[in-house]
Amino acid sequence: MKGIFSALLVPFDENGAIKEQGLREVVRQNIDQQQVDGLYVNGSSGENFMLSTEQKKAIFKIVSEENNGAVKLIAQVGSINLDEAVDLGKYATELGYDSLSAVTPFYYKFTFEEIKNYYETIIDATGNNMIIYAIPALTGVSMDLAQFDELFQNEKVIGVKYTDGNFYLLERLRKRYPNKLIYSGFDEMLIYGVISGVDGAIGSTFNINGKRAKQIMELCHEGKVDEAYEVQHVTNDIIEKVLDLGLYQTLKEVLYIKGIDAGTCKKPMSPLDASKKDAVKQLVHDFDL
């Protein structure tokens, strides 16, 4: 369960329906071309929080079929509807996903005891492993070391997707829990996570730039930090341009240019502005994506 995991993109048509063949092509691109170690399915990059339960299940099934045991699979089942999270967790477990993950419940100001109960309910109902998805900038939920201590007491909580810039807390978690999995969640900060001892990373840009992410990890593990920084510099040049043009729209357009039917984004997200298509082509050319 270590290494680089793509936060999987999902192609949609103009009516918001899943493009099954396109999704299969995106899975293959990640496995065959980017050579990732795993796929993180139905996270933010899959536009998950705009989907129906049935769409989420369809994505889990299609990805499982196309992957066919090639790489590790993590199913993000988090929802502020706990019944839905349990239902999705059971379904993904039946499909053979290697672990579940769940974003901390958001929008309402849940207490830590409510958050802890949320995770324990999903684990108890499914019997599967759980990776906490901590992304305080979007959920408004910041957990301290003592709260992670409580969550990690459950042996089924095997790790955390740590999308946070607090590297002091990351260092404290790494020291205290050498046997728990810690995944870096910020692609642009990957090198700092690797230096801090993360076991892997989960990111959206790995759909098009996974090879460089793997290179950063490998160079750091070999002690070649200066070389790793050079790869991170290039990676961040790419990320800056992608963010400037529109994150998910640009990632999908890059895949389209590569011959993959990555579809469009689900409303209320807008499609890529046609005036930006030449800039995306230049991005692909300049960075050999």
pLDDT digits (tens, 9 = 90+) for 100-113: 999 999 999 999 99
pLDDT in tens, 257-281: 999 999 999 999 999 999 999 999 9
Q: Which of 252, 258, 248, 262 is nearest to 285 (CA)?
A: 258
What is the structure's pLDDT at 138? 82
Q: Are 212 and 229 in contact (CB under 8 A)?
A: no
Q: Rounded CA gap, 161 and 194, in Å?
A: 13
pLDDT at 97 over 90: yes
Quote the mean pLDDT of the chain: 97
Give pLDDT, residue 174: 97
Residues 131-150: pLDDT tens digits?
A: 999 998 788 888 999 999 99
What pLDDT score was predicted for residue 171?
Answer: 97
DSSP string, 112-124: HHHHHHHHHHHHH
Annotated binding site for aceneuramate: 44-45, 163, 185, 187-188, 204
Mean pLDDT (whole number) for 183-198: 97
Q: Which tokens go with 53?
A: 């339960």
For residue 159, what are the β-bridge partners?
A: 131, 181
Find the helix or strand (DSSP H, E) in which 171 lies.
helix 167-176
The tokens describing 136, both together, are: 């305080």
pTM of the entire predicted model: 0.97
Question: Cα 168 to chain center, whole Å?
Answer: 22
175: part of which helix (H) or strand (E)? helix 167-176
Number of domains in the chain: 1
C-alpha to C-alpha distance for 108 and 114, rounded to whole angstroms: 11
What is the mean predicted confidence (pLDDT) over 72-96?
Answer: 98
Cα 201 from Cα 217, distance rounded (Å): 9
Position 264: which residue type? T
Catalytic residues, by residue number, are: 133, 161
Instruction: Give the per-residue pLDDT at 279.
Output: 98
Q: Is the dihedral of CA 137, 139, 141, 145 positive or negative?
A: negative
pLDDT tens, position by position, 16-63? 999 999 999 999 999 999 999 999 999 999 999 999 999 999 999 999
For residue 45, give every residue at least 6 positions away whose Cβ sits within 8 Å of its Cβ, in sequence order, or none: 7, 8, 9, 204, 207, 248, 251
The residue segments making up the domain with residue 212 are 3-287
Identify the CATH number of the domain in which residue 14 sits: 3.20.20.70
